Amino acid sequence: MPNYRISLDLVDIQLQLIPYDLREYRAAFTTIFIEAASADDACYTAIKRLKEMLMNQDDSIETRVLCRDISELIRVDKVEQL
């Protein structure tokens, strides 16, 4: 499976992510490296990984609402196959 470099724009949710300990999702503009079958799978995996990290740290209603909103607020700027 090929590797992908995904550039994410987290500006719209950056303030909501401050209370959580998120390794590579800390910056407003971040780059994630994913191994996936296709570019669509890589984008899905990157966003799913963020949601899982949030839910593993806090499974409150506020976190669930944030996870629901993440799909609408995160923008994928660029996907490159390496």
Q: Tell me: the pLDDT tens digits for 33-58?
A: 999 999 999 999 999 999 999 999 99
Closest CA to 11 of 77, 74, 80, 79: 74
Question: Which tokens belong to 43?
Answer: 């984008």
User: Taking residues 59-69, what's their average pLDDT?
Assistant: 93
pLDDT-derived band of residue 71, with 50, 70 and 90 as boundaries?
Answer: confident
**pLDDT digit string (tens) for 3-20?**
999 999 999 999 999 899
pLDDT of residue 1: 85
